[in-house]
Structure 1
Amino acid sequence: MSRLHFLFFLPALAWGADLGVTVRQITQGPLHHFFGYIGHVGTIPWNASGRYVVALQTRHQDRMPKPGEAADIVLIDTQKDHALSVVEQTRAWNPQQGTMLYWNPQAAETQFFFNDRDPVTHEVFCVLYDIAQKRRVTEFRHADTPFGNSGVAQKGGWFLGINYARLARLRPVTGHPGARDWTVGMQQPDNDGIFKVNVATQETRLLVSLKQLADALRATHPEVDGKDLFINHTLWNRDDDRIYFFVRGDFDKKDRCNVPCIMNADGSGLRVLKHFIGGHPEWESGHRMIGAVDGKQVIYDTNAMQIVDTLGSSEIIPSPGGDVALSPDGRWFVNGHGEKGMNYYTILRRADRAWVRTPAFSQGGYSGDLRLDPGPLWNRDSTQLLVPGIADDAAHTRQLFIITVNR
């Protein structure tokens, strides 16, 4: 079967004569291919050498997965014309976050994490898979509190976990329908929250419970009362000594709870941020974050709780609350935003603030739980981005594209 690849040299809006982009489609139908999460906090689809891109392959994109319905985990070989091979399957995935794929920082050439669920008990768990050994090295199962990976430490050794079954009830777009939830009927359970797992020993502890969070936030955020709370986006900084996350409840309602918090990696030092810096922030260096405040892309110091710098202007970054990612070398920044059914990417060189905006990538008309978020992901060399889009084929399949920054 012949493989078709599409290479586009398309017009892009740019400020900086030496900047441009090349776009190449690297997967094809009739099946759908995507990664599923934003390329922030060290989330990189390429393995250490850059040979393989890990992704998901599914047979549908027009509905959420049914309980137990599997997606293929595939490797895309960049040295063999992006040939694709299926290496595993997962029953814990969704269109927005995929299955939380993350190459193991301590063995990034051959090992990656993903989430799965038991086909009999429907308990969610995290898996560490080795492509050289062609097997699951470890399954991190917790029968009493079955949670999945929600964020790997950028230097490795640890991952955080949350209850994706609870999310399926309270915010379906991020959850796994039909998974076993031990917290049904509990608004703010004391045995659920953010878990931390030692990869080597599998030692596990609950860093902070939803009950502890409600008690800590109640004085300044009384809206936590009466709501079924849940956690979203547990983000390790580059030094692995601080964690950012959201405490949420009734998220789709007007009086929702949506509180950004930080804590130390051992669970101490819990604090609420004084400013809301957008729904998809990214860690910069140290304890500084990149986020959105008052229509600006800002750098926010989480120690001083204040804005210390900005990235670009509203002309350069029209939607600072979009999906953002800082390159591994820290020199490049990308903002992905949606506009009129299309996704666009603004790539900024931080040294001189030269920038380029890519051509449009179709969202295919999908919205809500099935929406196609921009989700840009850097490679390890900080030269390319992996992004999703609806292909220009008869079935309008969801496929993966590589943006190369020409500089």
Structure 2
Amino acid sequence: MTILKSLTNFFDRMVQRFLPDAFLFAVILTLAVFLMGIVFTSSTPIQMVEYWGNGFWDLLGFSMQMSLIVVTGYVLANTPIIKKWLVKISTLAKTPGQAIMLVTFIATVASLINYGFGLVVGALIAIQVAKRVQSLDYRLLVASAYSGFLVWHGGLSGSIPLLIATPDHFLEDSMGIIPVSETMFSGFNLFIVFVLVITLPFLNRLMLKSREGLEITSAKNWEADSFEDKVEEPAESLTPSDRLENSQIISLLIGLLGIAFIVYHFVTNGFDLNINIVNFTMLFLGVILHRTPRRFLASVNNAVKNVGGIIVQFPFYAGIMGMMVASGLSESMSLWFVNISTEFTYPLFTFISAGIVNFFVPSGGGQWAVQGPIMIPAGIEIGVDSAKTAMAVAWGDAWTNMIQPFWALPLLAIAGLKVRDIMGFCVIILLYSFFPIAIGLLFF
């Protein structure tokens, strides 16, 4: 406990003092990759500028998806019935320790179902729990919610295992089609997921104990305390336009149309819980449960205040990805680890290399497009099963998300915190999680 207390407080102090705002972090990372491309590859400064500018808008669609995750999650959470359920769940926690464990567990299970769903649910349940439990460090509570995101690439929405199980994927000629029974439902992956689901709540609770005696930050100090919609009630004499804005029939009709498509989607595609259908579902449930267009739009107007960071920062990460790929930096990083690997150590070094590359290419699908063509042929040549190589890349991608602000932005926007508020705790989660992931990849 003494060691954990010292480490937790050390990293929290360092992050609070030295980690810049998430936007400045993206800017600094941009400049660092620009210089690395010039120094470590044959790229010229003009070429690096070209790579950056050409890639800058490659994540526009994804930026919109993540913005909608924040907006639709906020809107749905502010409906009366969802508020009631969130409050009911939050009552399960009576003490700060129970609160940390409850939020961690719910966020982890939700992330196993779908990564976007996990980010939203984690933030929302953290807010409700913080409102009920006194003397609770809100920063650690939100970090606990984000820690659940660690397992997403081993769960049902894992982009790499789902992609390589799909016919005609771009590496089918070299590795074939690999069913999810050999990736996300394999023994080594189930071991990693099981250990993390069980132990992360206890790890976060231990960090809470390590904070005893220190000044804590309650939710009342943060924007999350104003997580309420203020709706202007209509005047007694309604104009025709006012009647439309307050019509429950209109909301019900368009909502039922959305529900019809959701049912159609799952009937025709099975349990395909992708980010688009999650956003679609939360959007139209929000329309129905807010009951009138006026209340729905009031909630939307409040929600969009939280997406500024995503809109501005994601293009910078797209530019970073453009420089990493076009200059060959990502390929060089991957090949260095390939060259020092044996058949036994290859999954571990693939995992570590993926964790490093993820810091600069923080998109699971984008990272697989970069590393897959390098790691799969090398693994086959060494004699490593392609399913394990693919999942090593997947877990590397998920692992360093704990210290990469890219994915934390939606959750932080909802919770009303900045990246430096949680990142010190996330460093501890990163260090701990290395061991169960490494054991699963090496010995199962």
Assess same fold via TM > 0.5: no
Q: Which structure has the higher relative contact order (CA within 8 Å, separation 6+)?
A: 2
Larger radius of gyration: 2
Larger fraction in helix? 2
* TM class by smaller structure: under 0.3
